[in-house]
Chain A
Amino acid sequence: MIKLPFSRKAPEEASIKPSVAFAAYCEAERERRRDTAGGLDEPRFQAALDLALERLRAHEAAEETRP
């Protein structure tokens, strides 16, 4: 079967929330930073992650409730 250039995405692939994508990125980033020479300031990283997630979720909630 010849594969066409464009293909349809699965619904779950197309609808990942930014906060979910961000959390996944941060977990990978946390691991990456743990392996760096400077190490990872865990409390600060967690605080920054929590802050950004809180803002993102608020943003998403505002978007969802927008008429």
Chain B
Amino acid sequence: MIILRLEAERLHRYRVLRLADLPERGIIGLSGDNESGKSAIGEIICFALFGRTFALPGERIGKLVHWGAGEGAVTLRFRVKGKGYEVSRNLTRDGAQSARLIALEAADAPLARADGVTPAIARLVGFGFDDYVETCYLAQREIASPHPHSPAVRAMVGAAPLQACATALDVELGEAEAAQAARRERRLALAEELAQLAPEAGRGQALERQLAEIGEREAQLAERMQALQGASDAYSTAYRRHGSHGARRALAGLLANIALLAVLAAGAIWAMLHFQPATWPMPVLIAWLEGLIAETGLTTHAVVTAVMVIFGGFLLLTWLWLAVLALGLRRRRARARRLARELDRLDSLEPLPARLREAPGAGSLVTAGDGGEAVASTAAGVEGDLGLVIDRPDVERRARLRQRILFLEAAVAEVCSALEHEAVWLKRDLERLHAWQAATRQGLARLRSEGQRHQAVIQELAKLDQEILAAEEWMATRRLARDLLAGAARDLSRRFSSGLRDMVSRALPRFTEGHYEFLEVDEDLQVRVYSSDKRNLLDLDEISSGTQRQIMLALRLGLAQELVARRVRDDQFVFLDEPFAFFDSRRLRGALKNLSELGGELTQYWVVAQRFPQDAPIGLEIACGQHPDTLTLGFPEVS
């Protein structure tokens, strides 16, 4: 891009600025004292191209309008690849802009208008504002080392797309790593839970066995208690009935004996009456009897026979009573034996094993938990509520009682008291068994629940492991892709730095009068320069500031050349605002000569200086500041 003509009105310090017939090759010198409007030309060119300047941020661009004026305008004519173009912009003090871009060969059909002008120019000239200020436009400021990560430099290197893709992958990786960290955290938590859930081998079977044993013992105790209660009730009944057994037995025996005697006497009388009626005392007895039955009409024989039959019947009845009494006694003794047998069975009951005598949860199979503690407290409460001695009656006492029961001598109260004692003992064991049964059931339920959770955790862990593995694979591929992109970007940077170094090294001796022959430019665009005098590579801070500026100028021109070579591939202007501010006239003359002999695509150099030496190789010198706010060149003078 070569600038052909510049016209501006009411912009910056110029009320009128008109520059035409500008040389397309060589140096255009802008000279003048301070505040003469040299730098303003650079800013107006920048505004014409991109609608903004280096010095004024976008929101303050209205300040570019000339003091006292409400709006300004600029028209810049330039050439790109052999074709002429013209960009016009209007700017109001409040920052409002209008713009138009035309091709000179078709001026009636604008190529772009308004906001479309700046992108159109960027496409046309091959670079945008950022690239421009990093390379072709050196504003009046300290020349610093170009930043390797600036968009312009990255674009020049060709690494910008690589780095954009690497950055996108980095973002994806960051998100994936966060998700992976969450998965690993979850996995750790699950592994810890699994370690706590890990069931002991055979614990479930042991609990099942314990539950069966408890059930069996409980049933046995319950049966014994019921049987004991039944036997006790039967014994009580028997004992109460047995109380009058002696008297009834004696009475029945007496009556039986009397009846027997009476039957025998009646039989003897009947026999004597029948066979020896004349033998004494039969006649007396017969006379007495006949006197008694004289009015009845009965015979003596009949009366005696009747008496004998009556007594015989009575005898049979008494014998029957005696038999009934004997039968009752036998039955009561059987009940007594039954009670004694139940007591014997109690004796033969196995005591609870020690583990079941403890409260559930204390060193038992059943884990002490909510249920276990509740049941333990229930078991403790049984003994506390009963408030009785819970040891069994001693063996000797039980033996004596048994004997007395067998003989139906133990009173009901005595038996009840003894059995109550036994019942307390049995109830205590039963309650313990109940507590253990409940605790064991709870333990089993918990074990089953833990078993289910165990399985679920194992499944989730397996799924999580698969996800972690897949994510690792996914991330490894992206890490490698990112590393390859970064490596390629570094490689491009190295190549770029190497090319830049070669190019700038060729220019460097010209700018430093042979004091520095070549320089090193690393991939971060950090510069070290070889001093011919010191025969060593020096960092920039080891050399004078004037030389630093020369080296940086050479580097910037090298970057500009690279930009143009890669993106524009056409002749290009460069605007250098006081690049040789501290040069003496001899050195300035040499620098300007070298500038015009650099070669490459940079052909039109706009160089700002306070003054140029008489014999400096300048194609056109524009003296600024001769009129306060007007500068005209190649146009008729404006009054």
Contacts and interface: CB of A to CB of B under 8 A. Distances in A.
7 contacts: A6-B598, A6-B599, A14-B565, A22-B488, A44-B480, A55-B165, A59-B164
B484 A7 contact: no
A48 B477 contact: yes
B477 A51 contact: yes
Contact of B478 (A7, A26, A48, A67): A48
A14 B600 contact: no
> Could you say which interface size class chain B belongs to?
35 or more
A4 B599 contact: yes
Given A21-B492, A25-B487, A51-B477, A8 B165 contact: no
**Which among A14, A45, A63 has the greatest number of chain B C-beta atoms within 10 A?**
A14
Contacts of B504: 5
A52 B487 CA distance: 12
Interface in B544-603: 557-558, 561, 565-567, 569, 597-602
A15 B158 CA distance: 9
B162 A22 contact: yes
**Which among A15, A45, A55 has the greatest number of chain B C-beta atoms within 10 A?**
A55
Contacts of B488: 21-22, 25-26
Interface string B585-624: 0000000000001111110000000000000000000000
A48 B567 CA distance: 30
Contacts of B152: none
A9 B162 CA distance: 23
Interface of A: 3-9, 11, 14-16, 18-19, 21-22, 25-26, 29, 44-45, 47-49, 51-52, 55-56, 59-60, 63, 67
Given A8-B565, A21-B488, A55-B165, 4 more contacts: A4-B598, A6-B506, A48-B480, A48-B484
Contacts of B376: none
Contacts of A29: 484, 487
B234 interface: no
B168 interface: yes
B503 A5 contact: yes
**Which among B161, B506, B507 has the greatest number of chain A C-beta atoms within 10 A?**
B161
A7 B165 CA distance: 32
Contacts of A60: 161
Contacts of A55: 165, 168-169, 481
Contact of B481 (A49, A63, A67): A49
Interface in B161-178: 161-162, 164-165, 168-169
B601 A8 contact: yes
Interface of B: 119, 158-162, 164-165, 168-169, 476-478, 480-482, 484-485, 487-488, 491-492, 503-504, 506-507, 510, 557-558, 561, 565-567, 569, 597-602
B569 A11 contact: yes
Contacts of A4: 506, 597-600
Pairs of residues from A and B, 7 with the lowest C-beta to C-beta distance, nearest first: A4-B599, A6-B600, A5-B506, A48-B480, A5-B507, A48-B481, A25-B488
Contacts of B480: 44-45, 48
A35 to B, nearest CB: 16
A7 to B, nearest CB: 6
B599 A18 contact: no
B158 A18 contact: yes
Given A48-B477, A48-B481, A25 B566 contact: no
Contacts of A5: 503-504, 506-507, 510, 597-600
B481 A51 contact: yes
A15 B415 CA distance: 118
A44 to B, nearest CB: 6
Contacts of A8: 565, 600-601
A45 B479 CA distance: 10
B170 to A, nearest CB: 12
A67 to B, nearest CB: 7
A15 B67 CA distance: 46
**Which among A5, A11, A51, A60 has the greatest number of chain B C-beta atoms within 10 A?**
A5
A22 B491 CA distance: 9
Contacts of A21: 158, 488, 492
A6 B602 contact: yes
Nearest to A30: B484
Contacts of A45: 480
A49 to B, nearest CB: 7
A7 B119 contact: no
Nearest to B488: A25
B161 A59 contact: yes
A60 B162 CA distance: 10
Contact of B600 (A7, A16, A44, A52): A7
Nearest to A16: B158
**Which among B169, B484, B510, B601 has the greatest number of chain A C-beta atoms within 10 A?**
B484
A9 B565 CA distance: 6
B172 to A, nearest CB: 10
A3 B598 CA distance: 10
A15 B485 CA distance: 19
Contacts of B510: 5
Nearest to A66: B119
**Which among B158, B476, B481 has the greatest number of chain A C-beta atoms within 10 A?**
B481
B485 A22 contact: yes
Nearest to B480: A48
Nearest to A3: B506
Contacts of B484: 22, 25-26, 29, 48-49, 52
A56 B598 contact: no
Nearest to A67: B119
A44 B476 CA distance: 8
Contacts of A51: 477-478, 481
Given A4-B599, A6-B503, A47 B162 contact: no
Contacts of B557: 6
